[in-house]
C-alpha cells in the first residue's frame, strides 16, 4: 500500500486552485491525486459559457495522470479557498470510481487548514463500474 503524502497533495491542490478558470461561478477548485506509483498529479476546474463544457478539477487531474500512463490511484484531495469543505460532485465521483478502489481516501481541505476524509465507498456506494463493483463485493465479504 502506498503511503499517502497529504501535505504534498494539499500543496499541489492549492496551487492548482490558483490556476482555475472560474469566471462564472467564482468558485476555484484545485485537486491533487496520488498515483500508486507515488507521483502526484493536479488539475483545476475550467468553466465555459456553455455550462456543459465545464470540466471539474477532479476529472482534469485524472486525465493528466492517465496521459502520463497512470491507471491506479491511492488518494485524492480537493482544495477550495472557502470555509465549507467540498467533496467531489456526482459525475466526478463516478469518474473517480473508474480508477480508485472503494476504500481509497477522498479528502477535502480549505484555506483554514481544515481537512475531512471519506472513502470512495462512502461518497458513492453504488458506483456503475464493473471493477468497482467486484472490489466492493470483496470488501463486504471481508468485513
Active site residue ranges:
58
Residues whose CB is less than 8 angstroms from the CB of residue 39 and which lie 6 or more positions away in sequence, other chains included? 65, 68, 70
User: According to DSSP H, which parts of the chain are helical?
Assistant: 6-17, 57-67, 90-99, 120-123, 130-142
User: Could you tell me which residues are annotated as the binding site?
Assistant: 45-51, 56, 89, 92
The binding site for substrate comprises 45-51
| 6 touches 77 (CB < 8 A) | yes
Residue that is written with C-alpha cell 458513492 in the block: 124
C-alpha 97/C-alpha 131 separation (Å) is: 9
Amino acid at each position: 500500500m502506498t503511503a499517502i503524502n497529504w501535505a504534498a497533495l494539499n500543496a499541489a491542490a492549492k496551487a492548482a486552485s490558483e490556476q482555475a478558470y472560474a469566471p462564472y461561478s467564482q468558485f476555484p477548485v484545485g485537486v491533487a491525486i496520488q498515483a500508486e506509483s507515488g507521483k502526484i498529479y493536479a488539475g483545476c476546474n475550467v468553466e465555459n459559457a456553455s455550462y456543459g463544457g465545464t470540466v471539474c478539477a477532479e476529472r482534469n487531474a485524472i486525465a493528466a495522470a492517465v496521459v502520463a500512463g497512470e491507471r491506479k490511484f491511492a488518494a485524492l484531495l480537493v482544495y477550495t479557498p472557502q470555509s465549507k469543505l467540498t467533496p467531489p460532485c456526482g459525475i466526478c465521483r463516478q469518474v473517480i470510481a473508474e480508477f480508485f478502489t472503494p476504500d481509497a481516501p477522498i479528502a477535502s481541505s480549505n484555506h483554514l487548514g481544515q481537512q475531512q476524509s471519506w472513502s470512495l465507498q462512502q461518497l458513492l456506494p453504488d458506483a456503475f463500474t464493473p471493477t468497482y463493483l467486484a472490489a466492493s463485493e470483496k470488501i463486504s465479504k471481508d468485513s
